[in-house]
Amino acid sequence: MILCIETATSVCSAALCDETRVHGLIEAPQGMSHASQLTVIIQQLMKENRITATDLDAVAVSKGPGSYTGLRIGVSVAKGIAYGAGIPLIGIDTLAAMCSGYISLHPEDLLPGTLLCPMIDARRMEVYNALFAADGTQVMETSASIIDKDSFSEFLSENRVIFFGNGSGKCRGIITGPNALFRDDFSLSASYLLIPSVNAMRNRQFEDLAYFEPYYLKEFIATVPKSFFPDKPE
C-alpha cells in the first residue's frame, strides 16, 4: 500500500493506493491551512482503512512545481512518515501527476495528435506548465511561462492542445484558436499519484531522505508589507 500526498496547490489531499486502485481518499476543505490539515486527514485515512504507517510499502508525495509553502509542508510530512516507518519515499512531478489524472478521467478526449497541457497558477500571468502526449509521454520540458497571445503557437498550429489545472482559467481568451481547448472541471488530487507512484515503486525510483527537496522551479521571494517600515520624515 502506498500513501500518496498532494499539497502543491490550494487542494490538500491524501490517498491510499495499491497497484490497481485507490482504497481511500480524503481532501481537506479548500482555504484551510495545509499545515493544520494534512496530518489530520492522513490520520483519519489510516484509521478508516485500519492500517498504520508500518503497514505501508512507501510514501509518495507531489514534489512540485507549485505552491512554495504547500510543497514544503507536504514533503516534510512525507519525509517524516517515511523515516519513522523505515519505508521508501517517492517524489512525483506534480504536472506529470495531473496528466496521469486527466488521462484516467477523460479518455474520450485523447484523440490522435492531442497534447495535454497541465497548468498551475504561479501568480499574475505566469503558470507552471509542461506538454504531454496522449500516452503520458512528456514532449515539452517543465517551465514557468508568462502567457501571451503567442504562447504554444508552434504546437497549436498543428495539434489540438487541452489546457487544464488551476492556472488555465486565466489563459482563456489569451491563448486562442480552434485547436485550443480548456477544461474548467479539473482539480488536483492525491489519487492522481497512483500510476506514477506504482511505476516508480516497480522501478525502485526512490528519493534520498537526507537530501530530497521539493521542485520549486522558481526561487521563493519573500515580500515585506509596507507597514513594516516607518514613514520617512519629510
Structural domain boundaries in the chain: 2-94+188-202, 95-183
User: Going residue by residue through the chain (234 aa), what tens digit of pLDDT does each one get?
Assistant: 999 999 999 989 999 999 999 999 999 977 668 999 999 999 999 999 999 999 999 999 999 999 999 999 999 999 999 999 999 999 999 999 999 999 999 999 999 999 999 999 998 899 999 999 999 999 999 999 999 999 999 999 999 999 999 999 999 999 999 999 999 889 999 999 999 999 999 999 999 999 999 999 875 444 444 444 445 444
The Cα–Cα gap between 45 and 49 comes to: 6
Q: What is the pTM of this model?
A: 0.90
The Cα–Cα gap between 1 and 163 comes to: 32
Find all residues with CB under 8 Å of 136, minimum gap 6, and list them.
96, 99, 100, 103
The Cα–Cα gap between 74 and 14 comes to: 10
CA atoms within 13 A on the CB side of 207: 24
List the beta strands (DSSP E) in the chain.
2-6, 13-17, 22-27, 58-64, 89-93, 115-121, 126-133, 138-146, 161-164, 180-183
Instruction: Give residue 218's pLDDT.
Output: 72
Give me the amino acid identity at 30: Q
Domain 2-94+188-202 has CATH 3.30.420.40: yes
Give me the amino acid identity at 19: E
Kindly tell me the burial class for residue 63, based on how many C-beta atoms sit within 10 Å of its own C-beta (0-12, 13-18, 19 or more): buried
CB atoms within 10 A of CB 18: 12
The Cα–Cα gap between 90 and 63 comes to: 9
Adjacent-strand bridge partners of 223:
none
- The yes-or-no answer to whether 2-94+188-202 and 95-183 have a common fold is yes
Q: What is the CATH number of domain 95-183?
A: 3.30.420.40
Instruction: Give residue 219's pLDDT.
Output: 59
Instruction: Give residue 30's pLDDT.
Output: 72
